[in-house]
Amino acid sequence: MRCSLVVLFTLAVLGCQIPASRVDGQAAVEPSVAVEDVDIATWQARMQAGTLSSHDLTAAYLARIEAIDRKGPALNSIITTNPDALTEAAALDAERRAGKLRGPLHGIPVLLKDNIDARPMATTAGSLALIDNVPASDAFLVRRLREAGAVILGKTNLSQWANFRSSRAISGWSSVGGQTRNPYVLDRNPCGSSSGTGTAIAASLAAVGVGTETDGSIICPSAVAGLVGIKPTVGAVSRNGIVPIAISQDTAGPMARSVADAAALLTVLAAPDGTDPASGAHPGVIDFAAHLKVDGLRGARIGVLRQSMGLHPDVDAAMEASIAALKAAGAIVVVAEIATTGQWDAAEMQVLL
């Protein structure tokens, strides 16, 4: 299981049931729903069978946030929860009972990095300067999520200003949210800048989450937290309603515990937006989940940048094991050599500025 040892310890102390609590002004009823490491397909099957409601699932996640993010190991991955989450979930339950299903995300709680606009919550980018910055409307991708039936559960902590604050900035710290903790080893780096989303999803504080990336801010915290993170091509996901850094590199993307969940989320996130200049050549909505194949790596050419290896024997060993797994799955692994290695930081600074 991907549950953190600290999370398991806390739950053992608290007992089998998480006590009733209140998160950001809304009641989080005592749940009987075990939420650890459950995928979207399983939640949907249970809700469709009538053994679970979106309301109860949302309440269970809210209670878990209170128990291990606010208290217990205090993962500190959530800046705020949506005060309307339970109401939204109940409305989606009513739609399901009436036979209306919006899609695979119907009734599924989703967390957003706190540089993405989602009413009625403020969008702070982790900065006290934006503490009261309540947007006039949802980001384009949030509208897509709501239309698909997702429950916006809350906003996650991040490296302040998505890490573009200082060359000495620490990953996962913001003046609004404090220090996000690594869900597996509390005093280790959670990576960033989508630190809160990575920690929260690894700790099963929501089904899936959305991060943003300019350079590594989805894939690095996903790697550290044992998640599937995808940085889509710039323009595949609308950038409207997201606090920007570099217009040529910014994008939002899914962070999930499985490839299938990441694909289901990306299917909703990726859609043409006529008001985003990068969306001009968008191919339209693609069902990424429909293209998943068990042997999907067979024949794929994958480059390995060995120039980045040789710094730590344990990391190198894990990398070699991953390369062996790719080969066993039928991939063609080739050594990639990039002549400009070592020059990237200076070049990127020009883009960011």
Catalytic residue numbers read: 113, 193, 217
Distances (CA, A) of 143 to 140, 152, 265: 5, 10, 13
Query: Token pair for residue 11?
Result: 């739950």
The Cβ of residue 301 has, within 10 Å, a number of other Cβ atoms equal to 8
Q: Are 106 and 92 in contact (CB under 8 A)?
A: yes
Asked whether 270 and 252 are in contact (CB, 8 A), the reply is no
Residue type present at position 92: L
Torsion angle of the four alpha carbons 142, 66, 206, 58, in this order, in degrees rounded to the nearest 10? -80
**Per-residue tokens: 263:** 């694909």
Token output for 351: 């883009």
Planar angle of CA 175, 181, 182, nearest 5 degrees: 145
> 116: which strand partners?
242
CA dist., res. 11 & res. 63, Å (int): 12
